[in-house]
Structure 1
Amino acid sequence: MKYSKATNYALHAMLHLAATTPTQRVDVLQLAERLQVSPTYLSKILTKLVKAGMIESSSGVNGGYKLKSNWEDISFLDIIHAIEGSASLFEGCLNHNPDCLIQKVMVSAEEKMEEQLKKQKISDLAKKATSTL
């Protein structure tokens, strides 16, 4: 199972914002430097997080990105869905049989993984990460 680099960067960006500056704006250039990623690429990722309602952006001299007021409730799954969408990882059985045993196993596994990712809040990880960032 593999997620895109964009998801990896989104998770790291959210963790950085939550652990260091949850109420302050951070410039995309500063964040991109911290994450060692292209500012242009990071901007596209952050735009998806803005559209998903997890962060807010503002332009101008004091502009940048910051977490929304409900950031403590944001889960890993929320971030993954914002970047990857919510389509199933498994594409289904070859014959489109609704009773496909393989699909039942794969969907069950995916549901368990999503349950774990939904439980993991970015705020919980931020508490642990403040000493390492």
Structure 2
Amino acid sequence: MSEGVEWAVHSCLNLAWAEPGEAVTATRLAAFYELPAAYLNRQLQALARAGIVSSTSGPRGGFRLARDPADISLLDIVTAIEGGQEAFRCQEIMRHGPGGRDNVDYRKHCLVSQAMRRADLAWRRELAAQTIADIKLAVEGTRPGTPKMVRNRLAKPVS
């Protein structure tokens, strides 16, 4: 998984704390963690294509969440950044091993492939069960000053 996923999740979380109706530029979001703005902007554009954030151009433009934080799962973000393909891709190497046959779909019959697919499904279910709202609530419970700190930091001019 690329670092873009981590950047996208943190950006969505920070956007959840932004002032209501306020758009935040990619430059300002990138400055928050000293990230390269151009690369973060690519992640934000992927989130926009997926309908997770919306973007507005112009002098007061930037990004804001397009959906309620409770309606944005970690799986939504991972899929927007990485795509929806499975983590494990069976290459059907058993076909070329002893006793391998051309008429067998080893993706379905191979026990290694089945185990990897179960693990991938469990991972996806866990990501789908966690939302930005869940993480936001957990952070606010352990660090109550975070929302105000984020809003203040996002409001400061980028140097």
In structure 1, stretches of 5+ residues that fail to align are: none
Kindly indicate whether the alpha-carbon contact (under 8 Å) linking 1:23 and 1:67 is maintained by their aligned counterparts in 2: no
Kindly indicate whether the alpha-carbon contact (under 8 Å) linking 2:69 and 2:131 is maintained by their aligned counterparts in 1: no
Measured after TM superposition, the shift of residue 23 of structure 1 is 3.7
Which residue of the partner structure matches residue 111 of structure 2? 101
Change beyond 3 A, Cα 1:125–1:23: farther
Change beyond 3 A, Cα 1:69–1:22: farther
- In the alignment, does 2:123 pair up with 1:113? yes
Kindly indicate whether the alpha-carbon contact (under 8 Å) linking 1:73 and 1:121 is maintained by their aligned counterparts in 2: yes
Aligned residue-pair number = 131
2:13 and 2:120 map into 1 onto residues whose CA distance is 24
Per the normalisation by structure 1, the TM-score is 0.90
Change beyond 3 A, Cα 1:22–1:122: farther
SS of residue matched to 1:57: strand
In structure 2, stretches of 5+ residues that fail to align are: 96-104, 151-159
Kindly indicate whether the alpha-carbon contact (under 8 Å) linking 1:27 and 1:65 is maintained by their aligned counterparts in 2: yes
SS of residue matched to 1:112: helix
1:128 and 1:101 map into 2 onto residues whose CA distance is 38
Per the normalisation by structure 2, the TM-score is 0.76
Kindly indicate whether the alpha-carbon contact (under 8 Å) linking 1:58 and 1:65 is maintained by their aligned counterparts in 2: yes
1:75 and 1:66 map into 2 onto residues whose CA distance is 16
CA RMSD of aligned residues (A): 1.6
The one-character-per-residue Cα deviations of 1:81-127 (angstroms, maximum 9, x if unpaired) are: 00000101111132351300000000001101110100000111112
Change beyond 3 A, Cα 1:76–1:21: farther
Which residue of the partner structure matches residue 37 of structure 1? 35
Measured after TM superposition, the shift of residue 22 of structure 1 is 5.5
Which residue of the partner structure matches residue 64 of structure 1? 62
Bigger radius of gyration, 1 or 2?
Answer: 2
The one-character-per-residue Cα deviations of 1:1-48 (angstroms, maximum 9, x if unpaired) are: xx1011111111111111344642112111110022111111111000
Measured after TM superposition, the shift of residue 70 of structure 1 is 3.7
Kindly indicate whether the alpha-carbon contact (under 8 Å) linking 1:21 and 1:66 is maintained by their aligned counterparts in 2: no
Kindly indicate whether the alpha-carbon contact (under 8 Å) linking 1:17 and 1:67 is maintained by their aligned counterparts in 2: yes
Higher relative contact order (CA 8 A, sep 6+): 1
2:17 and 2:126 map into 1 onto residues whose CA distance is 21
Kindly indicate whether the alpha-carbon contact (under 8 Å) linking 1:12 and 1:35 is maintained by their aligned counterparts in 2: no
Kindly indicate whether the alpha-carbon contact (under 8 Å) linking 1:75 and 1:119 is maintained by their aligned counterparts in 2: yes
